[in-house]
Amino acid sequence: MHFVYIIYSDKWDQFYVGESENVETRVDQHNSGFFQHGFTSKANDWQIFICISCANRIQARKIENHIKRMKSKQYIRNLKKYPEMQTKLLNTYK
């Protein structure tokens, strides 16, 4: 099973969108500086904001790309506030 995860850094007031099979391990990697030159390397206080369970990696990548194309913090906040938006994404990208 794959997941689309959105993590948030309070220090930088930034979101990061990714996909992984193991979200907890991936967040630990983001916080430990594992991705030395990556976007998340500038902070070490990343916390899971949203985690969407997907049927497979293909679906997860499509949803991840959709969210990134939106380029909107408000869209991400609305994903959490209105769970039906997540359901719609899962149904759109089967």
User: Which domains does the chain carry?
Assistant: 2-92 (3.40.1440)
Q: How far is CA 46 from the centre of its chain?
A: 11
For residues 1 and 21, the answer to whether their CB atoms sit within 8 Å is yes
Output the pTM of the full model: 0.94
Helix (H) or strand (E) holding 8: strand 2-9
Q: For the chain, 94 residues long, give each residue's pLDDT as a single digit of tens.
A: 999 999 999 999 999 999 999 999 999 999 998 998 999 999 999 999 999 999 999 999 999 999 999 999 999 999 999 999 999 999 999 9
Reduced to 3 states (helix: H, G, I; strand: E, B; else coil), residue 88 is helix
* Nearest-angstrom CA–CA distance, 25 and 47: 12
The pLDDT value recorded for residue 53 is 98
The pLDDT value recorded for residue 6 is 98
Six-digit token pair at 53?
A: 């369970």
For residues 30 and 46, the answer to whether their CB atoms sit within 8 Å is yes
The pLDDT value recorded for residue 33 is 86
The pLDDT value recorded for residue 77 is 98
